[in-house]
Amino acid sequence: MANKHPKTEQLGKKFNEMKPEEHKAIASKGGIATGIAQAKERETMRIAKMLVGLPLQGANKEKLLSAGVPEGDITQMTALLQGQLIAWIIFIRF
């Protein structure tokens, strides 16, 4: 007996037993759902890129300036990378 896919059980019949119109309707729903998921992912990435590109302010900015980072290069991403570098150095030493 072949393995049963849970989606075919929900549909009530196997894909090879369906009419072409039923295949088309299912494929259309899947395509629409994929498009919606991709749009959400693009928007999430756009927001994330915007956030890491924002200028840094406050004490963290002063720390990066004292470390020799040029003022024009100080963003949230610079602070994240600096923090990762420090964590890596601490990890290596211990």
- pLDDT per residue over 47-90, tens digit each? 999 988 888 888 888 888 888 888 888 888 888 888 888 888 88
The answer to whether the CB of 75 falls within 8 A of the CB of 53 is yes
User: What is the Cβ-side half-sphere exposure of residue 69, based on CA atoms within 13 angstroms?
Assistant: 19
Least confident of 14-18, 25-29, 51-55: 14-18
> With DSSP H G I counted as helix, E B as strand and the rest as coil, what are the percentages for the chain, rounded to 5?
75, 0, 20
Per-residue tokens: 18: 């369906």
Reported pTM: 0.58
Which residue is it, tokens 């900015």?
Answer: 61
pLDDT band at residue 9 under the 50/70/90 scheme: low
